Structure 1
Amino acid sequence: MIIAIGSDHTGIYYKYSINNFLIEKGHKIIDFGYSEYGKKVDYPDFIHPTAEFVNRGKANFGIIICGSGNGAAMTANKYQNIRAALVWKKEIAILARKHNNANIISLPARFVDKSKIMDIVKIFLETKFEGGRHKIRIEKIPKNPQ
């Protein structure tokens, strides 16, 4: 699987840990995230290229990380084919995939316990979309031009 990842300075520790974890599982990682410790940066500069890569179908999934996860999710969701879900626990990861067919997980670096992050990512990537009534709902998400 090809996975795009992007983070700002608050997510750098998670980004490196997630990259290593996913590479060990045999996934290909495309890293758009910030890569230096100690300097503050603006999350959109790293989330836009990540979301655009997924939006164009060049990656199966995306992982984005910022302090609260909100700014990253808001930025990614500007793209037509993106359904970025703010996820902070396993149950939300399951529902984001099963019911919303989320293709990007947005992680709040300041609010997710380091010991749980890999389980959340693993569950997100392995959970399948249920389709059915949920497919009808997500087809209504894009705004139709009027």
Structure 2
Amino acid sequence: MIFIGSDHGGFELKEKIKVFLREKGVEFEDLGTFSEESCDYPDIAESVAQKVAQTDSKGILICGTGIGMSIAANKVKGIRCALCHDAYTAEYARKHNNANIIAFGGRTTGVEIAKQMVEIFLREEFEGGRHKRRIDKIAKMEGV
């Protein structure tokens, strides 16, 4: 299960990503927002991050730039939300950082790049090894 959410700045791109996920047969739950009416991104980020943390799944967050969503999501214990801009950052967010949420900007990211990043993010696995030691240090900082 993938949890997806956006604020008003990411709503249009989120709707396109949902179509892409359906076409790929990926099960997801949309946690909002459900219109382009102004809303507060921390509320959506918290909802997605809590679901991801509770279910050990993955998430997608989209706001105007992706910055606010990534900052807010990373306040939830156990979340490693990566703000990604291209295929390379999406790939290594998973391989090296074991990111469980990807964030990007609805106003800064093209649809095709967003689809590519989502596909890579969902496909790639954490490499472990020396990277696990680093992720464990981050978890220790959180008190996990």
TM-score normalised by the shorter chain: which range applies?
A: over 0.9
- Residue 52 of structure 1 pairs with residue 61 of structure 2: no
CA 132–14 in structure 1, closer or farther in 2 if over 3 Å, else same: same
TM-score, normalised relative to structure 2: 0.93
Tell me how many residue pairs correspond in the alignment. Answer: 142
Residue 144 of structure 1 and its aligned partner are, at CA, apart by 5.8
For structure 2, the residue ranges without an aligned partner over 5 or more in a row are none
For structure 1, the residue ranges without an aligned partner over 5 or more in a row are none
CA 63–144 in structure 1, closer or farther in 2 if over 3 Å, else same: closer
Residue 10 of structure 1 and its aligned partner are, at CA, apart by 0.8
SS in 2 for 1:10: coil
CA 16–139 in structure 1, closer or farther in 2 if over 3 Å, else same: same
SS in 2 for 1:140: helix
Match of 2:97 in 1: 100
SS in 1 for 2:110: coil
Q: Which amino acid aligns with 1:84?
A: C
SS in 2 for 1:136: helix
Q: Distance in 2 between matches of 1:109 and 1:14?
A: 6
Residue 114 of structure 1 and its aligned partner are, at CA, apart by 2.2
Match of 2:34 in 1: 35
Aligned residues with identical type, % of pairs: 44
Q: Which deviations, in whole Å up to 9, do the C-alpha atoms of 1:22-68 show, x marking residues without a partner?
A: 1221221111121113x2111112111111000101x6210001111
Q: Which deviations, in whole Å up to 9, do the C-alpha atoms of 1:42-97 show, x marking residues without a partner?
A: 1112111111000101x621000111111101111111111000001110001100
Q: Is the 8 A contact 1:15 1:33 kept in 2?
A: no
Match of 2:137 in 1: 140
TM-score, normalised relative to structure 1: 0.92
Q: Is the 8 A contact 1:7 1:64 kept in 2?
A: yes
- Of Structure 1 and Structure 2, which has the larger fraction of its residues in helix? 2
Match of 1:73 in 2: 70
Match of 1:64 in 2: 61
**Pairwise CA RMSD:** 1.3
